[in-house]
Structure 1
Amino acid sequence: MTEERSHLSVQGEPPARWGAARLLTPPIDAHRRPRGPYTVAAALLRRLVPPLLGQAPELVAAHDIEILAAAPELAGIVPARRGTIDAELSDEERILVPAPRRTLRLANGIAEFVRDGVRPGRAIAVCNAAAADPTDLELLDVMTRRVPPATLTIMVYSGGPEPPPDTRGPDELWAAVDRCMREGFLHCAAELGERGLAATEPGGALWWRFAQRTATALGGLGRTEEARAIWDRVRLSSQDPKMHAAAAYGTAMLDARHPDPARRDLLRARAWMNAAIAISTLLPDPADRAFKLGFDRNGLALIELREGRLDAALALVESAIELAAGLGERHRPHRMVLLANRARLLAGLGRAKEALDDFGAAIALDPGFPDTYLERGNLLFKLGRHGAALADFEHAMRAGPPLPEAYYNRAELRSVRGDTEGALADLGRVIELDPGCLDAYINRAGLLAGQARDEEARADVEDGLRLSPGNPYLLTVLGQIETAAGRHAEAGAALDRAVESAPGLAAAWGNRGVLRYATGDLEGAVEDLTRAIDLSPQADLYGNRAVALRALGRTAEAEADDRRAARQS
């Protein structure tokens, strides 16, 4: 979430009418300067967690990751029941930076903890919201949406007292930046990292750590040019080959992973990655050289993959795995990433058994990392091993804070298995966790329309179209709904737009064929249904075309379609 607060009720001054008995905590000053990320969250958790440890220990245990991420001072009383191996690693081994979306997962987990742990009828007042960290703004947004007002009234105020200046020195700033990067608090890491760079000698060891973290945080936030400028400062300030190799890798990844695919420059990324590899081969320490060279080859594999050369990408990853074999027990996350990447490539090349073996080996290295379960579950789903896929999706759900992707994947599996109500429940959970998930609206609208729950489907279509105006999948569902309602002109307009914008979408042609049949255009119906069948031969399409052909008196063709439909059912 950015600094926008679409759901927050921002007021001017706190209301005098609220007495201390109703307020859950004293008014919370959300200004990010004294504490940084999750200032509001920590105040709430410090109030709620201690009594709930005795009253509802299972609730605290179910949210241990969220509690400790937002309020690390509670580590003395809240056991870390779940988690990845990151906590036990040295600084040089921690290569994984949480994605920006992790804070949404944390916010949903904290909101659920507050919702289930607060006695109804309480309230909080939060001031200095205009100066709050994005983690708190996101949390307040999620709590406003997900915690019923009858349980907790949330009032947010833009004004408030100005805190004292931040006088932290470089070492204290580094500790804060390091925590932010561990937890995925990228906005704060970038802000404090810039201060750390200004407070340290360019080219020195601490300056380098600030530079590396700050550039990485900026890249993760999509602030590509700011990140590039820091890597340029590294090149200008240092003659250390490790710094230059890392700066070349970081610059390459800015081009290879640009959030806008149209702005990715794979040619320039390859040039920078080749530079990184060339420098890494010159590192004097064998362990450093093996680790860094494997890291760089894995980066080059991403470029090969995005250029469609899966075999070349696989060869690079395998060479990186060979290098990692000489690292002993060190660099487990590095080896986990390499094994998972090889698994993805093997799956893409149709080598499913080997891919599953690699996913299993990656999971063994870090059983608490949910992403690998998700990916293995997806492969198992494609292989028709639904029970094993379900187990992986549900393991990913349990491994950490609420994970929308796991519920989305389980919804697809449930839909394929005919559990429509279960799929709808999962898609509802996805939308509750992430109202910006367009695919969840598309899939739920389609399922609802298939059950003739047209008004509910229409609501999802409208919500989805606000996120993605002109989306052909949503227009296809809208056309289906309008056809069922007898609003043929509106249905035709929606389906015409759908086939124009997505001529390869079989459902759009099939639904327009149904509409044309309903309006008496039998030849047009057969034409559209034939186009749909050419794109995606399915039993319902053959069955619908058979009806249209029979109405035209083309009985033999209709009977042939009936047989095709029966074979596919």
Structure 2
Amino acid sequence: MTAHEWRTGTTPAAEQQREPAESAGAAGAAGANGATGSADRAAFVVDCHRGLRGPYTGLGSLLREVVPLAIKAQPGITDRHVTEILSVAPELRPAIGVGPETLTSLAAPEERTRIYPANRTRRLAHGAVELLAEYAAVAGGGPLRLVFERVEHADYTDQEFLAILLRRARPDRIRVTVATGGGGGLVDELAAALGRYARRTPPAAGTDAGGTDAAGTDAGGRTQEELLHAFVAADGTSQDPAETAAYEQADPALRATLHDRRAAELLARDELTLGLGAIPYHLERGSDPAGAGADALYEAARHCGAMGFYHSVIDFGTRGRDLTDPETQMERFWHLSTRASSAMVVLGQTVEAEPTYIDLRARYDLPELQLSTGYALAMLYTRFHPAELRDHHLARAYINNSIAIASLLTDPEQRAFHSVFQKNGLALIEMRTGRIERALRLVSDGIAYLDRELPGEKHRLHRSVLVHNRGKVYLAMGRLEEALADLSKVIELDPNYADYYFDRADVRRRLGDLAGAVADCDTAISLSPPFYELHYNRGDIKAEAGDVEGALADFGYVVELEPDQLDARVNLVGLLMEGGDPAAAEPHVEEGLVLHPGDPRLLHLRGELALERGDMGAARQDFDAALRADPGLVPALASRAALAHEAGDHGAALADLTAALEADPDNGDLLYNRGYVHEAAGRWAEAVEDYTRALELAGDDDRDELLNRRAVARSALMGTAGAQ
């Protein structure tokens, strides 16, 4: 199969297509759109430079072209991917309508108390890959050809998407070309995907990544004014040395005027994603950077935070903070700072985020700031910091301070909301310190307080979050019926939020309602972009229910989405081998050992595959290696014991089975096996003892065989009467 392609050192098509006398407006239309479609409907070229539209500049540009064609090719093809499409390219809303709304998406900014997880962008990327695959299947005309340019300047979201696309897209159906110029700029995942799935091609002789000749001069004979206008029209993405020089040499006042003019042109287009790239770039450099520029960056950070694009939130928040005067613009400075630091926390950069909160608390005595940063610091120390840095006592100190401030707020609505919000944070601390009854009381009291003090339409999102949290507390306490009731209630309040069905499925499974648990997983899957945890849990439930085919499909899909998910891979291989299909299992084991070298469970499974082939030596080597990595791995101990028994080494077999039973003392199969080895070694009393203990644990299906084996052992030990 022909591989994907990685073109290095290439000149972007947008640069190649420029006319020497191109006007600022004409260049800007092409530049800010970021996409150039070819005459062939199956070939698309998109510019990924994040300066154009920020997150998903490349993917969004592609979807703005592909989605209308997909709808025309097969009406309804986009219905399963509305969330992905509107998250990436919101300008397509008129074409595809509104997706399933949740209380999170509907909440006013000041009432939004839930944020998306950091891996939401992976879910969106997987959904986009599947949409493109579905379109490729109906479009015809050979593989869908996609060219992504200036990828070294792409936002994290685009690079993550491209890494997943390269891995998941079959080149005979979707042919991907990734074009990069000089220098670095690639995230690790994309660099690895390019190295594994793409054929690298060098640049053509005499060209570089800037659209100029090898000498770096302007080949078109443009004037300094034309070069200056071209630089501004490129929205900060020009790689042309002549344009850059003209811009740097221009009068600063003229540059600011041109930036203002260009920002106005782009604002007039009323396209949301331009506000995540080109528009804030120009306003930062226009006549009012600390005002209009900082405001544009704040709005970009706010939108990206709401969508889960956290790398961009850090970028926008930091840039806006740098423009803002902390003395005269304290509120804007504070909000930009906390936007950036909160995004760092979600991405796991907690140590880097903490100084921002401390700095703000030292700068300002504003009650609301002290309240919110106290909450943030409490969550760092009870939840987000690495385990070695967590300090629940310090977390309680911060949250108690915030609770005290909330109680003094003069506005009744604000006092009620903030008091309950902070006490909900305290409930989490109590949960983590084992004071579960106290946590339940705090959450329950908060629900009652909001119901008593606020009109029913106010803070609907946070009310639902509290009910969900109480359900989770009930679950932790083992009060499953009450947990089920609260999770069912929160689903009534917010029926399109997939995570609630995910949690209720867990409760239903624990209650023994496997069919209900699968149904909840099905609903969650229908409401969400691809979400591997959902499929893993559904696969686990189906396996428990005896639906092996369904479990295989779910575990296989998990491994397709995220190959490094080890538990899913182990479960998948185990089911394949139990089903008598070692040939299908083998590549999954080998791939797993590439991703997880030396993993004991995979080494054991590879040993089992060797046994299937009759290669006892290789099997023994893998079992030994697995047990060196994990001496208590029960399946490997059992497998090695079986090998030793087959070889007549009863002592080694008994040693491994005894070690396995020390780790898993109530395992009836292990007791049976050890009894059988005792029997083979003539250790009749020990065999009777193991068979007797196994009978205490056995189900009806196993009793006959166990009684039969014990009869043999008793016959040898005490004669016919015992066996009878």
TM-score (norm 2): 0.72
Summarize the alignment of residues 339-488 of structure 1 with structure 2, pairs less than 5 Å apart: 339-488=467-616
Q: Deviations over 1:20-67 (max 9, x none)?
A: 445746532111012101111111111111233333232111111111
Query: 2: distance between equivalents of 1:273 and 1:468?
Result: 41
Q: Quick check: 2:600–2:630 contact (8 Å CA) kept in 1?
A: yes
Letter in 1 for 2:159: L
Tell whether the 8 Å contact from 2:44 to 2:62 is kept in structure 1 after alignment. no
Match of 1:46 in 2: 64
Task: For residues 158-184 of structure 1, give each alpha carbon's deviation from its aligned partner in whole angstroms, at most 9, with x where no partner exists.
Answer: 125584332231222222112211110
2 CA distance for matches of 1:109 and 1:19? 22
Would the aligned equivalents of 1:407 and 1:426 in 2 still touch at CA under 8 Å?
A: yes
Query: 5+ unaligned residues in a row in structure 2: which ranges?
Result: 14-35, 182-208, 211-230, 237-280, 284-292, 702-724
- Is 1:172 matched with 2:194? no
Corresponding residue to 2:391 among 242, 248, 265? 265
String of CA shifts for 1:325-355, please: whole Å, max 9, x gaps. Answer: 2333322222222222221221121111001
Structure 1 window deviating more from structure 2 (22-31 vs 500-509): it is 500-509
Q: Bigger shift: 522-531 or 179-188?
A: 522-531
Aligned match of 2:154: 132
Of 8, 11, 14, the residue aligned with 1:11 is 8
Structure with the greater alpha carbon radius of gyration: 2
- The equivalent of 2:361 in structure 1 is 235
In terms of mean alpha carbon deviation, does 351-360 or 430-439 score higher? 430-439
Give the gaps of 5 or more residues in structure 1. Answer: 1-6
Alignment-mate amino acid for residue 478 of structure 1: R
CA RMSD of the aligned region, Å? 2.7
Q: CA separation in 2, counterparts of 1:530 and 1:11?
A: 59
Contact 1:22 1:122 in 2 (8 A): no
Partner of 2:318: 194
- Give the partner amino acid of 1:197: R
Q: Which of 62, 65, 68 matches 2:83?
A: 65
Of 306, 315, 334 in structure 2, the residue corresponding to residue 208 of structure 1 is: 334
User: Kindly tell me: are residues 492 and 320 of structure 1, through their superposed partners in 2, closer, same or farther at Cα, counting changes over 3 Å?
Assistant: farther
1:141 aligns with 2:167: no
Change in Cα spacing, 1:472 to 1:289, as seen in structure 2 (3 Å) is farther
Q: Tell me the SS of whatever aligns to 1:270.
A: helix
Equivalent-residue separation in structure 1 for 2:603 and 2:408 (angstroms): 57
Deviation at 1:269, TM superposition (A): 2.6
The count of residues paired between Structure 1 and Structure 2 equals: 562
Question: Could you say if the C-alpha distance between residues 243 and 9 of structure 1 is closer, same or farther in structure 2, counting changes exceeding 3 Å?
Answer: same
SS across alignment from 2:98: coil
Shift of residue 196, structure 1, vs aligned partner: 1.6
Which of 112, 121, 124 lines up with 2:143 in the alignment? 121
CA distances 1:190-242 after superposition (whole Å, capped 9, x unpaired): 10111122223326333333223211111111111231122123213322111
Residues 313/418 of structure 1: CA separation in 2 closer, same or farther (3 Å cut): same
Q: Which residue, out of 678, 693, 702, partners 1:549?
A: 678
Aligned to 1:537: 666
Q: Distance in 2 between matches of 1:277 and 1:411?
A: 43
SS in 1 for 2:78: helix
Specify which of 154, 178, 184 is matched with residue 308 of structure 2.
184
CA distance in 2, matches of 1:262, 1:528: 36
Deviation at 1:432, TM superposition (A): 1.3
Q: Give me the whole-angstrom Cα distance separating, in 1, the residues matched to 2:669 and 2:165.
A: 43
Q: Quick check: 2:42–2:144 contact (8 Å CA) kept in 1?
A: yes
Instruction: Describe how 1:253-332 pairs up with structure 2 within 5 A.
Output: 253-258=379-384, 260-325=386-451, 326-327=453-454, 328-332=456-460
Q: Which position in structure 2 is the counterpart of 1:222?
A: 348
Q: Which amino acid aligns with 2:312?
A: C
Corresponding position of 1:563: 695
Superposed displacement of residue 285, structure 1? 2.1
Native 8 Å contact 1:248 1:276 kept in 2: yes
The 2-side partners of 1:561 and 1:516 are apart by 23
TM-score by length of 1: 0.91
Where has structure 1 moved over 6 Å in runs of 4 or more?
Answer: none
Partners of 1:330 and 1:155 lie apart in 2 by 50
Aligned-residue offset at 1:258: 3.0
The superposition leaves residues 494-540 of structure 1 with CA deviations (integer Å, 9 ceiling, x where unpaired) of: 44554565566543443343333233232443443344345253443
Q: Distance in 2 between matches of 1:475 and 1:132?
A: 39
Q: Which moved more, 1:478-487 or 1:394-403?
A: 478-487
- Code of the residue aligned with 2:365 in structure 1: it is Q
CA distance in 2, matches of 1:19, 1:56: 20
Tell me how far apart the structure 2 counterparts of residues 260 and 508 of structure 1 sit (CA, whole Å): 33
Q: Please say if residues 335 and 362 of structure 1, whose CA atoms lie closer than 8 Å, have aligned partners that are also in contact.
A: no
Q: Aligned partners of 2:630, 2:382: CA distance in 1, in Å? A: 27
In the TM superposition, what is the alpha-carbon distance from 1:450 to its structure 2 partner?
A: 2.7
- 1:102 aligns with 120
Assess, with a 3 A threshold, how the Cα gap between structure 1 residues 496 and 152 changes in structure 2: closer, same or farther: closer
Report how far residue 396 of structure 1 moved. 0.6
Give the partner amino acid of 1:138.
E
1:4 aligns with: none
Contact 2:317 2:337 in 1 (8 A): yes
Q: Secondary structure at the match of 1:156?
A: strand
Give the Cα separation in 1 of the matches to 2:578 and 2:665. Answer: 18
Q: Distance in 1 between matches of 2:124 and 2:314?
A: 19
Distance 1:468 1:480 in 2: 18
- Flag the 1:502–1:50 CA change in 2: closer, same or farther, 3 A: same
Q: CA deviation at 1:364?
A: 1.6
Q: Return closer, same or farther for 1:335/1:36 CA change in 2, 3 Å cut-off.
A: same
**In the alignment, is the contact (CA less than 8 A) between 1:63 and 1:110 conserved in 2?**
yes
Decide whether the 8 Å contact of 1:30 with 1:39 is kept in 2.
yes
- Native 8 Å contact 1:550 1:558 kept in 2: no
Whether the aligned pair in 2 keeps the contact of 1:540 and 1:565 (CA below 8 Å) is no
Return closer, same or farther for 1:155/1:495 CA change in 2, 3 Å cut-off: same
Aligned partner (choices 330, 334, 354) of residue 462 of structure 2? 334
For residues 309 and 487 of structure 1, the distance between their equivalents in structure 2, rounded to whole angstroms, comes to 55
